[in-house]
Amino acid sequence: MATKDKGNVAEGKVRRIFEAMNYLVASHGKKVNWIPDGKGGRRPVVADVDLFGAYDLVAISFYKPTTWIQVCSNNAADISERKKKIEKVAKSMNPNNRLFLFAYQGGRKTLDRRHTKEKRFKARDFFQVYELKRRWNVDIDKEIHDLIEEWVMLDKVFCKAQLDGVCWVCKKELVDRRCPDHDWAGDQIVYL
């Protein structure tokens, strides 16, 4: 993340999403590093330590597979770096576990210039969700037992709830709790 505060905010939002789905969520730990203070001494600096060097959160539920989550900014360089971290650790994990990357797109409320007359706003405060799908490739004749991994981009998960039955993007009435024009602007109902 660009700053530590944004990272903690995004992790808190992901934590609340999974807790709303009845998961028990645990986060990474802290580590104290001692660095020189420029006066011949040392001062402590607290840093976050990812779980297994790749995950920010782990979500467990009795009836669902264990879910490992990495949260980063919606920057292409950050996303590719985190995907490599996850792939490196994923090879030693149970294939039944679910591995997610939540890329956070924050920002201010800004008008979409394509729709200035209708006063529509650009999408913001959402997570673009990627999942590492893993399956076994078993060929008995060739004696191949490979684990095939591929990244799949899922739907956007928005953090903002609908208010008073009106879409927060275009201010239209909702039909079955969804906007007819913006089905991605849901009211925090997430199915992962």
Task: Look up the pTM and report it.
Answer: 0.69
3-state secondary structure the chain: CCCHHHHHHHHHHHHHHHHHCCCEEEECEEEEEEEECCCCCEEEEEEEECECCCECEEEECCCCCCEEEEEEECCHHHHHHHHHHHHHHHCCCCCCCEEEEEEEECCCCCECHHHCCCCCECCCCEEEEEEEEEEEEEECCCCEEEEEEEEEEEEEEECCCCECCECCCCCCECECCECCCCCCCCCCCCCC
On the question of pLDDT at 116 being above 60, the answer is yes
* Cα 92 from chain centroid (whole Å): 21
Per domain, the residue ranges of the chain are 4-29+47-158
Amino acid at 37: D
Question: What integer pLDDT is reported at residue 192 of this predicted model?
Answer: 46
pLDDT(2) > 50: no
- The tens digit of pLDDT for each residue in 66-91 reads 999 999 888 889 899 999 999 999 88
Angle (CA) 53-55-61 rounded to 5° is: 135
Between 123 and 70, where is the model more confident?
70
Rounded average pLDDT over 133-162: 70
Distance CA 75, CA 156 (A): 15
